[in-house]
Structures are given as structure tokens and as C-alpha cells.
């Protein structure tokens, strides 16, 4: 559905027919136009106050645009009007989890109404974890995957929870994947989670087990090439990647491109990526193409990342002034004992869930300040460049697709990484250790445009000093990481802005 077609639906919306209005509203949501639906949904929820579907529609639209308070209230009304509706009960529980209010009992109720819905079990585990009941969350998921080992989402969540609590993340999965009859999906998940845990030996062992069961399949060859590359065995990686006829899958191609960049074959990496870049909807290849172009002094790098409008540094200390209160609040949310498996954090912890959806006043105030700066940054971006991953034609809506807090201690840092599926990414500094005159003068600084793991000889194209109240915005496809502090606590908030739907793609 194009934006023009969506506006036609809005213009002819059946406001007097509840059934037709609900169907039209769902079509707008399915096509990802919740902002257009919101004003209509508000009116429908008042015009048909006794119809749970109208409150459900408002809740769905509000949740899609990031308005947690409205979503919570709307789903609450819908649940009171339809107390036996499992979908509404689940939505109410999810809205409560987003908003940061107790949700365990609500998920338990939803599970009673829809006992076959695995996503409810995932939500219940997340609610237990966020309320400081991590042991119960892990035990619960352990029981469920014990009864159904092929529930891959549950296995993944269990591994992540175990890892965040400092436990062996893959203990349960490793046992199940060794059993006769383990599915291809389970075996593949074992390899991928071992890679997330940065355990290359375990990943190689899991891959060997998968090969013994599944034979020589293309995905096994690609992962074998990736593991060999990360282990530093260039010849074995080349052999494995060479056995795959054509890397047409973007994710597979990104692993091969990573290997080529890492082994200083930038021309080969560019030749691999450039024919595929038009199909790279998740922007997985742009970060590697950026490195390849810089390594070969290709001037197209300036077109991609050299525009000064792409990076913005904003002082929000006046818009948001009570940083001590924010740090104290965030510290209570850091219930994990270790970093998530699949994130860039080293020697620190990261909060769970979408932080900026929480409804506490301190977070609502923070969200307003941050999104105000995002709007300012977007207004100053250079004009649209065809095919550019950041300089887009359409800049609305500006939705937060993910947000979190990171707490680093002593020598904690972020490895260089990207958030390829986002549009804009960020770092907002809310708590920093005392400055030290010893050691690296750039300790704790944000590094942009550098991937020390892949191309250590390539310098950053910008280093930015952390200051309390400073927000840095930059393209999500741009490599970024931090230098370690020698000691102390560093507290940040980060978020991604989703890539707006482009009218030229409908």
C-alpha cells in the first residue's frame, strides 16, 4: 500500500460502521501507517466506547507509534470489556511490559487464555526478568523448552537470559542439539548462538555436529567460512566460501565480505558487494563497502560517509537537567550480571526492552528531549541522494525502533559495530567517571568510522569526547565504538531511529 493509497482509506474511512472501521484500521496497521490511523482510532474509541475492538485498534496504533501510555490505557479498557479474549489479554500484557509496569500476572492470565501461543511465554519470561526474578524466568523457560526442544524462540531467549546472568548460555541447547533427530533449525541455532557468545571452539564443534547430521549444505559452508575466518585460518575460510556457488543471500554475502575486508582484499570485497547493494534492504553490506572504499581510497566513501551533516553533536543539558535522578533510575534497571550475547558491550550490562517506551516521568522527559534533537538533526541533513542509506527522500515518521541503557565499569567499552537495520543511531551521556590525566587522552571517547577488529590500520574519521548531556547522532550503518575508561562508572542511553518508509518503494 502506497502512502497515497493509505490517505485515500483515511479520507473515506467508515466511521459509522464499527466492523468496517476495524477492518480498515487493521489494513492501515498492516501496511505500517499507524500515524495516519491514530486520530481516527481515538475518535472511534469514544464513538464506540463499549466495543473492545475500537480500544484494541487504538492500542495497536499507539503501540506502533511508541505511545505507551495511550496503548496501556486502551488495551486496559479492551481487556475489561472482553476479559476472555486471549489476543487482547496478550496485548495488554505487552503494553504493560513496554510501559515498565508490573506485567507478570497479566502474562499469566494471557497464557491461560491462549496456552499454545509461545510468544506469551516469551513475554512472561521477559516480565519476570525485568522485575528482578531472573531465576524464575530461566527456570520457566527451561521447563518449556524441556517439553518442546524444537521451540527455537524459547531456546534463543533462554540462552540470552542465562548469558546475562553469568551462566553458561548454551548448556540446555547443547544437550538437546546432540540428541538424535535434532532438526536443522535447532542445529543452526546452536552454531549461531555459539557465535553470538564469541565461543569459536563451541561454534566449530556445533558446526561439525550439524554437518554430520545434515551433510554439506550451503549454509553450513558459509558458517564454516565465517568461523575459519574469525579463527584466523584464511586458507580454510577461502576454501569454505569457495564451495558456495553464488552468495545471493545478503546475510551470507555479508559474512564473505567481512572475511575479504578482514584479510585486506578490499577490491574483492567491493566487487562482491556492489552488484548486491540494490537488494540490501537491511543495509547489511553498506558497512563493509564503506571499509572497502576507504581501504582503496575510493572517493565514493566521501559520498557515503563524508558529508558533515550525517553526524550531529547536541548539548541537551538544558532540556534535560536532572542527570543524578536519571542515573539512579537507570541503575535500578540494570538487573543483569553480564552483557547480552549479541551486543557490543564488553565489561558492562545493558537494560532489557525498549527503554524509551517506559512511562515514568523521568523517561518521558528524556524521550521528549531526545526526539526533539532528532527532529533538529533530520532537518539539517543534506538533500536526498538516490541509493544513499541515510540521505533519504522521506524523513517521517521518526520512530524509535529500540532504546536501552548501558552501564560500563572500569575498563568497559563497546567494540566497533553497526546497527544496520536502523536509520540513525545515537549515544547520550548521562553519567561519567572523573577525568583522569593518566593514560590515553581519548579514554572513553566515541570512535566513528573505525573497525579495529577488521582493519586495525584504518583510523577513525572522527573521535568525539563524552560529556554529560551530550547527544551524538550518526548513521546506523556507520562503524562506531568506544575507547575504555581506566576506571569508574559510565552510564549512557542509546537508541535507534527506524528507517522511514520511502514513497518510491510504496
Q: What is the mean pLDDT of residues 187-203?
A: 95
Kindly state the percentage of the chain with pLDDT values over 70. 98
Q: Cα 190–196–202 angle (5° rounding)?
A: 50
pLDDT digits (tens, 9 = 90+) for 15-51: 899 999 999 999 999 999 999 999 999 999 999 999 9
Residue 436: the pLDDT is: 67
Residue 505 has pLDDT above 70, yes or no: no
Question: What pLDDT shows up at residue 506?
Answer: 37
Each domain of the chain, given as residue ranges in start order, spans 170-241, 246-303, 308-505
Residue matched to cell numbers 564451495: 243
Looking up cell 524523513 gives 395
Residue 193 has pLDDT above 50, yes or no: yes
Mean pLDDT, residues 226-255: 91
Contact status, residue 40 vs residue 32, Cβ threshold 8 Å: no
Confidence of residue 343 (pLDDT cuts 50, 70, 90): confident
End-to-end CA distance of the chain: 6
pLDDT tens for 298-310 read 999 999 999 999 9
Q: Residue 116: exposed, middle, or buried by beta-carbon count in 10 A (0-12, 13-18, 19+)?
A: exposed
Average of per-residue pLDDT across 464-477: 97
Contact 396, 138 (CB under 8 A): no
Report whether 367 contacts 166 (CB < 8 A). no
Q: What is the average pLDDT across 65-72?
A: 97
- pLDDT bin (cut points 50, 70, 90) of residue 504 is low
Mean pLDDT, residues 234-250: 88
Q: Taking a C-beta distance cutoff of 8 angstroms, is the pair 464, 313 a contact?
A: yes
What is the rounded average pLDDT of the residues 137-161? 95
Across 330-366, b (16+ Cβ under 10 Å) vs e yields beebbbbebbbbebbbbebbbbbbbbbbbbeeebebb
**Looking at domain 308-505, which CATH architecture does it have?**
Sandwich (2.60)
Amino acid at each position: 500500500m502506497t502512502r497515497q493509497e493509505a490517505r485515500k482509506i483515511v479520507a473515506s474511512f467508515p466511521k459509522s460502521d464499527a466492523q468496517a472501521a476495524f477492518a480498515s484500521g487493521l489494513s492501515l496497521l498492516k501496511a505500517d501507517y499507524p500515524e495516519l490511523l491514530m486520530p481516527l482510532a481515538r475518535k472511534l474509541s469514544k464513538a464506540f466506547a463499549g466495543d473492545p475492538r475500537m480500544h484494541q485498534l487504538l492500542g495497536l496504533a499507539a503501540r506502533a507509534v511508541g505511545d505507551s501510555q495511550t496503548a496501556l490505557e486502551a488495551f486496559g479498557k479492551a481487556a475489561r470489556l472482553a476479559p476472555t479474549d486471549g489476543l487482547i489479554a496478550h496485548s495488554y500484557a505487552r503494553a504493560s511490559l513496554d510501559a515498565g509496569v508490573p506485567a507478570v500476572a497479566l502474562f499469566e492470565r494471557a497464557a491461560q487464555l491462549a496456552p499454545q501461543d509461545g510468544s506469551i511465554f516469551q513475554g512472561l519470561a521477559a516480565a519476570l526478568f525485568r522485575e528482578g526474578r531472573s531465576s524464575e524466568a530461566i527456570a520457566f523457560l527451561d521447563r518449556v523448552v524441556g517439553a518442546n526442544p524444537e521451540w527455537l524462540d524459547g531456546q534463543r531467549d533462554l540462552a540470552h537470559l542465562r548469558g546475562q546472568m553469568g551462566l553458561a548460555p548454551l548448556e540446555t541447547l547443547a544437550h538437546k542439539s546432540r540428541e538424535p533427530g535434532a532438526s536443522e533449525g535447532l542445529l543452526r541455532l546452536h552454531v549461531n548462538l555459539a557465535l553470538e557468545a564469541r565461543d569459536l571452539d563451541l561454534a566449530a564443534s556445533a558446526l561439525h555436529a550439524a554437518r554430520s547430521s545434515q551433510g554439506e549444505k550451503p549454509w553450513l559452508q558459509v558458517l564454516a567460512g565465517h568461523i575459519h575466518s574469525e579463527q584466523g585460518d584464511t586458507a580454510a575460510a577461502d576454501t569454505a566460501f569457495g564451495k558456495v556457488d553464488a552468495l545471493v543471500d545478503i546475510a551470507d554475502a555479508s559474512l564473505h565480505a567481512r572475511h575479504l575486508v578482514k584479510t585486506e582484499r578490499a577490491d574483492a570485497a567491493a566487487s562482491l558487494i556492489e552488484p548486491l547493494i540494490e537488494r540490501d534492504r537491511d543495509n547489511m553490506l553498506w558497512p563493509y563497502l564503506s571499509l572497502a572504499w576507504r581501504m582503496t581510497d575510493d572517493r565514493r566513501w566521501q559520498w557515503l560517509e563524508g558529508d558533515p551533516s550525517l553526524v550531529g553533536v547536541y548539548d541537551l543539558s538544558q532540556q534535560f537537567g536532572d542527570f543524578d535522578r536519571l542515573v539512579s533510575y537507570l541503575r535500578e534497571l540494570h538487573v543483569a550480571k553480564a552483557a547480552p550475547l549479541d551486543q557490543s558491550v564488553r565489561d558492562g550490562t545493558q537494560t532489557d526492552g525498549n527503554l524509551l517506551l517506559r512511562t515514568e516521568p523521568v523517561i518521558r522527559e528524556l524521550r521528549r528531549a531526545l526526539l526533539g534533537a532528532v527532529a533538529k538533526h533530520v532537518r539539517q541533513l543534506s538533500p536526498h541522494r538516490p541509493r544513499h542509506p541515510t540521505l533519504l527522500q522521506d524523513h517521517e515518521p521518526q520512530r524509535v525502533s529500540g532504546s536501552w541503557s548501558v552501564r560500563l565499569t572500569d575498563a568497559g567499552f563497546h567494540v566497533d559495530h553497526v546497527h544496520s537495520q536502523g536509520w540513525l543511531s545515537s549515544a547520550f551521556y548521562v553519567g561519567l567517571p572523573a577525568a583522569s590525566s593518566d593514560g590515553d587522552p581519548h579514554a572513553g571517547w566515541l570512535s566513528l568510522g573505525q573497525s579495529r577488529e577488521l582493519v586495525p590500520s584504518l583510523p577513525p574519521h572522527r573521535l568525539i569526547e563524552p560529556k554529560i548531556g551530550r547527544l551524538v547522532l550518526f548513521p546506523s550503518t556507520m562503524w562506531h565504538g568506544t575507547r575504555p575508561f581506566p576506571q569508574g562508572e559510565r552510564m549512557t542511553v542509546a537508541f535507534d531511529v527506524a528507517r522511514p518508509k520511502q514513497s518510491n518503494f510504496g
